[in-house]
Amino acid sequence: MNLIILIGAPGSGKGTQSQLMSNSLDYPVICIGDIVRQEMNSKTELGKEMIRYIETGDLVPSDLINKIFLNKFNSLRSSKGLILDGFPRTVDQAVFLNEVINGLNIRLNIFFIDVPDEVLIKRLTYRSRADDKEEIIINRLNTYNLETKPLLTFYKHLLNTVNGNDTEKNVQSKLIACIN
């Protein structure tokens, strides 16, 4: 399986790029943020447990997220490729992912979509999701800097950095060109 991981700050275009890549490669996407929002909107027990984290812009605890990921991953195990949007988002999730894929025949493609902070803030301010209010945006960016950025060091030998401060189409072409 070709496993494609997209790492990037909120507003970096991960979601859009995952969808474009999914369309052109015909690989499914596991988007943890979407699953989290679905659980919240359907008011499941899990959704109720996660709501307070999303509302403040904090990450949901990894034990819950790892379970969600594993279920979804297991259901897509036979796919020839898979795109991960928003997982892993912490080093402990990356360690968990390594355990999950250990011994499986997997080719890893890990991308960092690099976008300057001021561009991220501008993009997030123009988006209209419930967790895009100013103080929540600031907390989500801080959370990203503290908890997700260390992944860049964790994956440094595998990381492809792509400049995300460009048109959707150009970013997509660069990503596709780097896949092996």
Contact of 125 with 95, CB cutoff 8 Å: no
Whichever of 36 and 171 has its CB closer to ligand AMP, that residue is: 36
Minimal CB distance to ligand AMP: which residue? 33
Report the residue number, 121 or 173, with the smaller CB distance to ligand AMP: 121
Q: Which residues contact 95 (CB under 8 A, 6 or more apart)?
A: none
> At 104, is the secondary structure helix, strand, or coil?
coil
| Closer to ligand AMP by Cβ: residue 18 or 172 | 18
| Strand ranges inside the chain, DSSP E | 2-8, 29-31, 81-85, 107-114, 159-163
Smallest distance, ligand AMP to C-beta of residue 26, A: 22
- CA R_g for the chain: 16
* Contacting positions for ligand AMP (CB under 6 A): 10, 32-33, 36, 53-54, 57, 59-60, 65, 86-87, 89, 93, 140
Query: At its nearest, how many Å lie between ligand AMP and the CB of residue 32?
Result: 4
